[in-house]
């Protein structure tokens, strides 16, 4: 009998997830060529991650709603009509043949967020034009004096404070008592603990949760169908799951940029303690999805540690230790963390060199890639930096020239994946095609 997950070593867990990625259970390939293409693409990416020399540089454009725009739809169309989502995102992959796709999860279910009266983002038709992508509405969803509540019981804080504040339909949840009160019948513990569930605002919130759940099921059906169809045609998904750096979870989601900046000066110990508390939760978030999806790569978009956002000391004190703990925690569970450093990371390269060898993909946006290769080349696979500005306003020849230069700077000996520096939205399709085709042309290892 195969070993239980809990009994496996990190290497065995990694091998298990890798095997599932290479040979996805339940996928029936369209034909032998599709199967060969699929396995070849996954192997190409794995070789790059393992710092071996693949047959050529893998190419994975990080797409947002590009598939929708390419097929003549708006982000609104595909967020509200899952058939259009499936059709358009499939068309992009089949027409352009990248080495991996980024799933359709980049297009969240619009109706679900309508049901919840979601306040953390504006989305197409709901605060931004139907033609544009969703955008975060940063705020102080956790107050400066609520660190103790978060640290004592993160789940209770999310349930009774964060969710009611960011989802209008869940306002009633603030009346809940801790679920940990439901210890036993004796003393009326259970009886008292269930009182909130009889209150109309809580009932309304439960109804909204249930309705949102129905919508989530429809959407995840499309996500699964898309992943299956693409695999059958020969195209693997790149992401097993996703999570966030603890500093960004607090800075982006809970306290906001200004909030977390002031906390670094006014209550540094509480901020550090809170990040320590949520790190294992962030690990679990990434691992759970990677296991469900049978793919070890866990995406971690990085925001507030970029050049300029923190000084070197602040980065080393507030940002890196919990991010490093997150990377280590994911690796211990067999995952391949994929931190994606938005903005510039030039001043961080020497610090992040302390990443476990051959176990991480570092993705970069505007970072100097020759420097990144020099500093990190013998430690981890790097990716990215195909300029989103060039993809947006350049010509296919400009894109080709950039691809050529990136391959020259980064691809030597393997360990590089061609990716866009930022998410690709409504850019000329010819430029995306040029990025993929030029990588296939210039990226072959001899």
Interacting residues toward another protein by CB under 8 A: 122, 127-129, 131-133, 135, 137-138, 257-258, 261-262, 264-266, 308-311, 314, 342-343, 387-390, 392-394, 422, 425-427
Q: Which two tokens stand for residue 190?
A: 């259970």
Q: Which is nearer to another protein, 333 or 342 (CB)?
A: 342
Reference 224, options 293, 285, 288; nearest CA is 293
Q: Which is nearer to another protein, 304 or 359 (CB)?
A: 304
- Would you give the end-to-end CA distance of the chain in angstroms? 42
Closest approach of Cβ 383 to another protein, in Å?
A: 18
Closest approach of Cβ 371 to another protein, in Å?
A: 17
Closest approach of Cβ 300 to another protein, in Å?
A: 18
Closest approach of Cβ 287 to another protein, in Å?
A: 30
Alpha carbon of 222 to those of 78, 215, 243: distances in Å? 11, 11, 21
Check if the beta carbon of residue 391 is closer than 8 Å to that of residue 432. yes
Closest approach of Cβ 421 to another protein, in Å?
A: 8
Check if the beta carbon of residue 281 is closer than 8 Å to that of residue 151. no
Q: Which is nearer to another protein, 211 or 409 (CB)?
A: 409
DSSP string, 130-147: TTS--EE----SS-GGGH
Q: Which is nearer to another protein, 74 or 293 (CB)?
A: 74
**375-380: Cβ within 8 A, 24+ apart:** 375/349, 375/350, 376/349, 376/352, 377/412, 377/413, 377/415, 378/51, 379/353, 379/355, 380/51, 380/355, 380/415
Helix, strand, coil shares, percent, the chain, to 5: 60, 10, 30
Q: Which two tokens stand for residue 343?
A: 């903005």
Q: Which is nearer to another protein, 135 or 190 (CB)?
A: 135
Q: Which two tokens stand for residue 281?
A: 């939760």
Q: Which is nearer to another protein, 262 or 281 (CB)?
A: 262
Closest approach of Cβ 102 to another protein, in Å?
A: 16
Q: Which residue do the tokens 């009998």 mark?
A: 1
Total residues found in the chain within this entry: 446
Closest approach of Cβ 135 to another protein, in Å?
A: 5
Reference 226, options 244, 239, 210, 213; nearest CA is 239
DSSP string, 143-190: -GGGHHHHHH-HHHHIIIIIHHHHBGGGGGGGGPPPGGG---SGGGHH
Q: Which is nearer to another protein, 258 or 374 (CB)?
A: 258
Closest approach of Cβ 256 to another protein, in Å?
A: 9
Alpha carbon of 319 to those of 249, 258, 265, 310: distances in Å? 11, 16, 14, 9
Alpha carbon of 352 to those of 116, 139, 298, 318, 362: distances in Å? 38, 29, 17, 14, 9
Q: Which is nearer to another protein, 99 or 365 (CB)?
A: 365
Alpha carbon of 306 to those of 39, 75, 348, 375: distances in Å? 35, 28, 8, 17
Q: Which is nearer to another protein, 122 or 206 (CB)?
A: 122
Reference 409, options 433, 385, 438, 380; nearest CA is 385
In b/e form, how buried is each residue of 163-198, taking b as 16+ CB within 10 angstroms? bbbbbebbbbbbbbeeeeeeeeeeeeeeeebeebee
Closest approach of Cβ 261 to another protein, in Å?
A: 4
Closest approach of Cβ 308 to another protein, in Å?
A: 6
Q: Which is nearer to another protein, 97 or 392 (CB)?
A: 392
Closest approach of Cβ 398 to another protein, in Å?
A: 8
Q: Which is nearer to another protein, 198 or 308 (CB)?
A: 308
Q: Which is nearer to another protein, 32 or 269 (CB)?
A: 269
Closest approach of Cβ 189 to another protein, in Å?
A: 45
């Amino acid at each position: 009998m195969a070993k239980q997950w809990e009994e496996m070593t990190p290497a065995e867990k990694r091998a298990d997830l890798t095997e599932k990625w290479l040979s996805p259970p339940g996928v029936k390939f369209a034909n032998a060529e599709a199967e060969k293409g699929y396995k070849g693409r996954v192997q190409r990416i794995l070789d790059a991650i393992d710092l071996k020399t693949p047959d050529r540089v893998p190419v994975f454009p990080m797409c947002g709603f590009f598939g929708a725009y390419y097929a003549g739809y708006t982000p609104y169309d595909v967020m509200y009509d899952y058939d259009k989502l499936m059709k358009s995102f499939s068309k992009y992959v089949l027409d352009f043949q990248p080495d991996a796709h980024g799933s359709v999860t980049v297009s969240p279910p619009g109706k679900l967020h309508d049901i919840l009266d979601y306040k953390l983002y504006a989305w197409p038709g709901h605060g931004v034009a139907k033609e544009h992508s969703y955008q975060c509405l940063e705020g102080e969803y956790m107050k400066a004096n609520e660190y103790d509540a978060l640290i004592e019981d993160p789940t209770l804080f999310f349930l009774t404070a964060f969710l009611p504040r960011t989802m209008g339909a869940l306002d009633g949840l603030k009346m809940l008592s801790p679920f940990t009160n439901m210890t036993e019948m004796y003393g009326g513990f259970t009886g008292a603990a269930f009182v909130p569930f009889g209150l109309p605002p809580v009932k309304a919130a439960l109804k909204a949760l249930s309705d949102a759940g129905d919508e989530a099921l429809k959407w995840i059906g499309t996500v699964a169908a898309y992943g299956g169809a693409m695999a059958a045609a020969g195209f693997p998904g790149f992401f097993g799951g996703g999570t966030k750096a603890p500093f960004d979870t607090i800075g982006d989601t809970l306290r906001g940029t200004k909030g977390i900046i002031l906390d670094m000066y006014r209550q540094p110990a509480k901020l550090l303690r809170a990040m320590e508390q949520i790190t294992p939760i962030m690990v679990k978030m990434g691992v759970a999805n990677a296991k469900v999806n049978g793919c070890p790569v866990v995406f971690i978009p990085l925001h507030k540690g970029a050049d300029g956002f923190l000084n070197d000391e602040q980065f080393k004190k507030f940002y890196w230790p919990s991010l490093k703990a997150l990377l280590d925690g994911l690796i211990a569970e067999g995952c391949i963390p994929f931190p994606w450093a938005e903005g510039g990371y030039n001043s961080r390269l020497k610090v992040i060199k302390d990443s476990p060898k051959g176990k991480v993909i570092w993705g970069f946006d505007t970072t100097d890639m020759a420097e990144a290769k020099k500093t990190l080349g013998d430690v981890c696979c790097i990716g990215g930096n195909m300029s989103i500005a060039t993809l947006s306003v350049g010509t296919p020849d400009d894109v080709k020239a950039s691809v050529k230069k990136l391959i020259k700077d980064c691809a030597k000996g393997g360990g590089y994946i061609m990716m866009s520096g930022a998410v690709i939205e409504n850019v000329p399709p010819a430029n995306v095609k040029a990025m993929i085709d030029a990588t296939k042309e210039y990226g072959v290892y001899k």
